[in-house]
Amino acid sequence: MAGMEDVVPKADVSPKPVTCPGCHTMSPPGTDYCPKCGKELSAEAEENSLRIALKISKALSRMSSDARIALAEELGLIVSYHENPAR
């Protein structure tokens, strides 16, 4: 009929939670990194992590051996603090 359009029901496009392939933690839709283990949960996050790792690798290759050791020690302290904050 004139003026009548075919009504097509919309498919369910509601985002679904994301399950981490590493630790199986459920995360809200759109989460890029697992809040428990840090694994990438999207292709964009994987590309971003690779890009960052390449930048870090290039920067480390320009540092002296002593500077790399000092940086590793400092990073170890930061990680330890965040894993076991003494508050």
Mean pLDDT of 17-44: 93
Place of tokens 């359009």: 5
Q: Which residues contact 36 (CB under 8 A, 6 or more apart)?
A: 20, 23, 25
pLDDT digits (tens, 9 = 90+) for 35-79: 999 999 999 999 999 999 999 999 999 999 999 999 999 988 888
Query: HSE on the CB side for 59, CA within 13 Å?
Result: 9
Place of tokens 């076991």: 84
Model pTM? 0.57
List the domain boundaries for the chain. 18-83
- Split at pLDDT 50, 70, 90, the class of 81 is confident
Contact 25, 38 (CB under 8 A): no
